[in-house]
Structure 1
Amino acid sequence: MPEVTSHAPGWPSWVDLHSPDTQRSKEFYTGLFGWDTYTMTVPDFGDREMFTLGGIQGPEVAGMHPLADDTQPPSWMCYFRSDDIQATMETVKGAGGRELAPPTDLANLGHMALCSDPEGADFALWTSYNLAGAGVVDEPSAMCWVELACRDTEQARRFYNEVFGWKSIDVEHSGSDYTKFLLGEDRPLAGMVRMNERWPRDVPPHWIPYFQVADCDDAAGRAADLGARILYGPADIPAGRYAVMTDPIGARLAVMTPDPAEIPPRA
């Protein structure tokens, strides 16, 4: 399990869960992925749970904190690395996005900001101090992909290409078009699916994380036993086998057993 010590600018580097019931969430994710947890008190931000892999002293793979209020939906937040958050935020606003929380230090962990794209999908920017981001990726029980679901894919394509310098290509995915975002010519780092008429109208555009598992069918079955609702799959795609679900508190995520040839290299 080689540890990751840095993430390249523009790459997804961290995910954290906004939960209305952190104890229930902790039970689900430790049961599903075998994670351990510890509580970190961050001045001005309260307590945050840190999920680790390979024991309590193992590398951090994700975070969790309580929802600010009951009007917010439970969700996973995807963080993207930026070397200059203020400059990136100006690009976000210039491209039609919004600043939700201004750039600020999260104690000695890193510098962060929250924003949303023109259609309202929330995401975060991250510059590391003592927390580089996920300490393990592309391994079982660790993040291996992030995906945007939105209705206006052309607008999203223009926005994220401008903000992060990504490029995009379309591929077939489950019988419909799917967009892969790339950094450089051949390094896919995120995906995008169009929310068509089969999606409920009350589901807003959103980013979700994919977590790698050794056996997708087994993981999906275990997730259901732990209280998750399986929304799609398990199903085969060229990149591997995956399933999309909502966890017991309603946050959306996916699990995937990837084709090893499809795992993008990180730099």
Structure 2
Amino acid sequence: MARQISLQQYLVSMYWDYQNISDPKIAKDLLLFASSLGFIANRKVYSNWCEGSKAKSVLASLDFDCIHVSQKFTNAVDFKLVMDCGCDSSDIVILISGDSYCEILIDSLHLKGKKVIIFAHEKSAKISLKHLADMFYFVDDLPKLVENKTQFKTTSLDAKINYNEAIECLTKAITTTLSQGKRTEFGYIDKLMRQHCVSYQGFSSIHTPDGKKFKSFGQFVDAAVRDCKVQKQGHKLFLMELDKLAA
């Protein structure tokens, strides 16, 4: 079950690649957006900060944690952000970046049951992120989003799907993946389910008849295996009959 605080608020974390989106003017709107979703647990912004940086001072005055990353190797900021984000315990993660490394990071966060929101530059964003994230916006959208707070209330993040519907979604995702000749690994199947089943927003959105919730995507798969709905071999999934041969 998602960890929450008083008033059933979600915990929200922001990870900002400042070298990718270097505009301190968006900071206040980002905070307003994040606070509309829940309690802001982390607000980290990464760069190779110059001494006396005005941008750093502005962000620090808004309680952003300005993480200095020296450029000892290529993509040092990216690696540091990914490492920190991988240890995050929030329910919702906001990534302010449009770089390709976000693809792998989104998959990892989804497998942990987290919702992922991306803010990126329209001209430089990797478009595939739009289809991977739970929500995707361009930074130019921020002022309008803040003006219309009801547009992004947490109701859009509270999708529910019953167990049988989730099983149907799972089998369709496996069928599609096999027909494309791709590997039916947990991460890819989970991503495909999110793309093609509107009500499915990760294993935490599945509601079982007994009211219990799954603690991981793997636990959901194990239940489907016990119910003879699918088969698994390691972290690969298959349907019950013909697809056994494809394994």
Q: Quick check: which one's helix share is greater? A: 2
The two structures have a TM-score, normalised by structure 1, of: 0.25
The two structures have a TM-score, normalised by structure 2, of: 0.26
Work out which of the two has the higher radius of gyration on C-alpha atoms and give 1 or 2.
2
Q: Which structure would you say has the larger RCO, counting Cα contacts within 8 Å and 6 or more residues apart?
A: 1
